[in-house]
Amino acid sequence: MDLDPDLAALRPLGGFFVLHTAGEALRPLPTLAETYGEPLSAPQGDPLGLRVRKVANALRAPEPRVAASIAQQGLAARLWSVTLGCAALYGSIPDLDPRLLLWDPEGSAPEDLWLTEVRPLPTGAADPATLADVVLHAHLEPLAAALHTRYRVATGLLWGNAGSALAGAARQLDQWARAHGRTDAAARARALTGELFAHPLLADTGTRTGTAFRRRSCCLYYRVPGAGVCGDCCFPRPPRSSPRATSG
């Protein structure tokens, strides 16, 4: 199945999988490359800092690193969902270079993403190594470096977020594919996800049983006022104090 200009096959899967076209953007937006770069490198200002502040205000996060962690996991979920969805449904991945992807740091969750041009990667491949290059190396590595430098978020925590986001995207895609008779897409998504979790950056992030995932780190969401632990958290209940060493 060839990639269509609107990536319409992703739309029935829900908001985390939708990828807009650049023509739909209502105002100038920063690219993800600018977001991962130096603060104020984007013409629109500091998109990463703006997003972290928005999350912090919305959740009343007690410290910036909590908001930074949650913001990163949301963006990781979007990137994994789009990429894994295309691989499973189309058997091909569009070029998702950070310079081609626009996002709205002031938007609600899940984040809005726009692709300036839908074109398949030159190889046309949708194999695990290509997915790792597209998401892990091109996006999540520079994003993790920026958040670690600016907000002192532990890198182990951020890779745990990446693993959790991949597991969540795979689980939702599997459920949708099975419900709609797309056993081929479900099988492809499971195989790709298994290979991706063998990658050195993700291999130690948690344990998987089928589509279930239990991470070995904590995203710090429990520190948000009134929040508990996430369904895949390493902690069975909220710790009494901040586990800085354990959560990294």
Q: Closest Cα to residue 122, out of 149, 87, 141, 94?
A: 94
In this predicted structure, what is the pLDDT of residue 43? 57
For residue 246, pLDDT over 50 is answered with no
Residue with tokens 């901040």: 242
Distance CA 86, CA 238 (A): 36
In this predicted structure, what is the pLDDT of residue 245? 37
From residue 68, how far is each of 123, 143, 144, 156 by CA, in Å? 34, 10, 10, 14
Sorted by where each begins, the domain ranges of the chain are 8-231
Q: Are 151 and 39 in contact (CB under 8 A)?
A: no
For residue 59, pLDDT over 70 is answered with yes
Please tell me the pTM assigned to this model: 0.92
Distance CA 96, CA 27 (A): 21
* % the chain with pLDDT above 70: 91
pLDDT, tens digit, 9 for 90 and up, residues 62-76? 999 999 999 999 999
Give the sheet arrangement for strand 113-115, strand by strand: 20-21, 113-115, 101-103
Q: How far apart are the first and last CA of the chain?
A: 41
Q: Are 117 and 100 in contact (CB under 8 A)?
A: yes
pLDDT, tens digit, 9 for 90 and up, residues 172-230? 999 999 999 999 999 999 999 999 999 999 999 999 998 899 999 999 989 999 888 89
In this structure, of 21-30, 108-117, 129-138, the range with the lowest mean pLDDT score is 21-30
SS3 208: strand
pLDDT band at 244 (very low <50, low <70, confident <90, very high): very low
Q: Closest Cα to residue 16, out of 73, 59, 63?
A: 73
pLDDT band at 247 (very low <50, low <70, confident <90, very high): very low
In this predicted structure, what is the pLDDT of residue 239? 83
